[in-house]
Structure 1
Amino acid sequence: MRALHTTQLILTLAAPAAAAVLIAGPAAALPPHPFGLPALTIGCPNQASPMSLTAATGQSGPEPGIAPGEIRFQSFPAAPPIPAAGQVTVAWANTTTGQSGVVNLEGAYPYQSKTVYTGHGEVTAAAFASITLGPAVICQNSPTVGTFIV
């Protein structure tokens, strides 16, 4: 009798969790996917540092602020306190549809982002950046490349 009571108790407690799993809606998009290695600049003064190290990610929709067929490119310091590069640009090509573009990321340094419509498919992108001293560009960093499914 006790075993039957224990079984009923377990089923009573587990039923709502099982129903939530079975009735749940479609899953959200994957988390941000990193580009390859961080983009590196060595031997170029950047905020009193002899180098910069910039990481970049791509986040496809649907997510809040990112519609289906769009991707948000983001950049940030890869290894604080080493600074990130100044202006980050992303060149992208949708190898499924043939669409392509070049965008400058926007936002307050060092965290920049830009959401672009790439269309659905496989997107290959390269992120590269420049370091400025006043109005003059003094260095370019090595690019980093990533592939994303949108």
Structure 2
Amino acid sequence: MSARLVRRIAAVTIPIAAATVMSAGNASADPPHPFGGPALTIGCPNQGSLASLTNLTGQSGPEASPPIAKGDIRFESFPAAPPIPAAAQVTVAWLNTDTGQSGIVDLAGVYPNLSATVNTGEGNVIATGFGSINIGSSPICQANPAIGTFIA
């Protein structure tokens, strides 16, 4: 990867990561917790860009709005920076390392904001989000996985 491309990616992702970490959440529960960084998709040219970024978060319950029960985590994906993909299919695979429960869920909703609430059981959860991204008329590309840890 050329140094120029790395600098461009860093110029986009570092401010996004800082904004995500500093964003305020609901005082009644833990705010949505970001995965380790935006999911980077390389190789889908659009609007002069070779990359697209998608943010992934997980929010543990209990929470009233959106409704999240204790022992559940709401996983969400949304665009992190332009260009915004024309369509996407995002999947989250998770494992509760305390109980051994695991699962795979496709996020759903009105694109580009996709989500799913899953019963992970209470405990420490590790999750990875991945999927396919389609930017306009370009070919479908695979998003690099993003990994996060959560406490349900």
1:13-68, Cα deviation, whole Å (9 max, x unpaired): xxxxxxxxxxxxxx732111000111111111468853210010000000021001
Amino acid at match of 1:119: G
Q: How does 1:62-101 map to 2 (within 5 A)?
A: 62-64=62-64, 65-79=67-81, 81-84=82-85, 86-101=88-103
Normalised by the size of structure 2, how large is the TM-score? 0.72
Q: What displacement does 1:138 show?
A: 2.7
2:53 corresponds in structure 1 to 53
1:37 corresponds in structure 2 to 37
- For structure 1, the residue ranges without an aligned partner over 5 or more in a row are 1-26
Q: What displacement does 1:108 show?
A: 1.1
- For structure 2, the residue ranges without an aligned partner over 5 or more in a row are 1-26
Q: Work out the number of aligned pairs and report it.
A: 121
Which piece of structure 1 moves more, 53-62 or 43-52?
43-52
Q: What displacement does 1:120 show?
A: 0.0
1:15 corresponds in structure 2 to none
1:99-133, Cα deviation, whole Å (9 max, x unpaired): 00000000111100000000000000000110248
Tell me, what secondary structure is at the counterpart of 1:67?
coil
Which piece of structure 1 moves more, 41-50 or 51-60?
41-50
Tell me, what secondary structure is at the counterpart of 2:55?
strand
Q: Report the structure number with the largest CA radius of gyration.
A: 1
Query: In structure 1, what is the Cα distance between the partners aligned to 2:150 and 2:45?
Result: 32
Normalised by the size of structure 1, how large is the TM-score? 0.73
The structure 1 residue matched to 2:112, chosen from 105, 110, 114, is 110
RMSD of equivalent CA atoms: 2.1
Query: In structure 1, what is the Cα distance between the partners aligned to 2:111 and 2:47?
Result: 12
- Indicate conservation of the 8 Å contact 2:77/2:113, yes or no: yes
Amino acid at match of 1:60: S
